[in-house]
Amino acid sequence: MRLRIIKCHGSGNDFPLIDARRLALDDATWAGVARALADRRGPVGGDGMLLLTEGDGQYAFGFRMFNSDGSESETCLNGLRCVARAGFAALGIEAARVRLKTSEADVARDDDLADGVYTVRETAGPVSLDVAAWPMRGLGERVIETPIAATGSARAFTAIAIPNPHLVAFVEAVDEAELVAVGGVCEAAPDWLPNRANVSFVATPQSETLRGPREASREPDALFVRTYERGVGLTDSCGSAMAASTHAAGLTGRIAFGTPVTVFNRGGMVRAVAGEDGMVTLSGNATFEWEGAVTVDPATGVAGDLVIERWHNDEIDSWARVADAAR
């Protein structure tokens, strides 16, 4: 099949995006399309695949996200901003309520983070602390600043779903080897965590990791988030991880709820605010890099014959300046 795509990214989290409002494909076919398009060895590549889907009386449009392994995620807040931009353009609007897989979110065009950086504000939640609903077994009703022996790490984790499940550990410095090891344990879907979870190591405002970036930011508080994402692996950016980490910072008293926070990652940054009501607002880029068409065989998970019809070089350059400053 021949599909039109937009290659886009939110805070460095990159995806092929498809307007699927008129495409009647079943979930198994979409999973095959995702494996083909997100394959880094293929012509497109990405952390996953995004779909703009039809709305209804309650929602202006819908959102779906498939990971690179073909599994479907509850949400992806970096990807949601990109789908929101496509939905705004398709419908001629600048704000909407969006249907997600198991929840909903409000999105709106926001003031640009920097010159030439298309920016979307998104509000998601409320977060859930009920780990039995994931399920995460044998650890009680809530996990807040608690070691989880089964991870193989002595670190204290906080468990938050928004609605993707996340394990957040605050650290002085990010040890990527340790993060990959813990993420691999969770990715294996052990009996105590059958649906897996995203794992994030988060550098605190007081850490050496954030001294330079924090001084460069205009917000009084900052976090640096590094995530091992289920279905993806180690990723430069994960929007729901940044949201979960911001809420965890409030929950554990590191940053007061309601405080504007600059959240840095390997792909760039977003602005975030976590409320005591469990809602988290992120404001970040929705950058379009190019538009084109590609042939996909969902059965084999192979893509080919890519034709790029339009480059968005100005947007690419504008975001590169933001990302360079964040690093």
Which residues form the catalytic set?
Answer: 76, 238
- Tell me the torsion sign for CA atoms 23, 47, 80, 94: negative
Half-sphere exposure of 167 (CA within 13 A, CB side): 31
Q: CB of 167 within 8 A of CB of 197? A: yes
SS3 178: helix
Beta-strand runs (E) in the chain: 2-10, 13-19, 48-53, 61-67, 72-73, 95-99, 104-109, 119-124, 146-147, 156-161, 165-171, 198-203, 221-229, 233-235, 261-265, 268-274, 280-285, 287-297, 302-311
Cα(221)–Cα(132) distance, rounded to whole angstroms? Answer: 32
Q: Count CB atoms within 10 A of the CB of residue 145.
A: 15
Q: At what angle do helices 77-91 and 239-251 cross, to 10 degrees?
A: 120
SS3 12: coil
H-type alpha helices, 203-238: 211-216
Cα(321)–Cα(24) distance, rounded to whole angstroms? Answer: 39
Q: Which amino acid is at 112?
A: D
Q: CB of 45 within 8 A of CB of 235? A: no
* Partners of residue 52 on adjacent β-strands: 19, 63
Length of the chain: 327
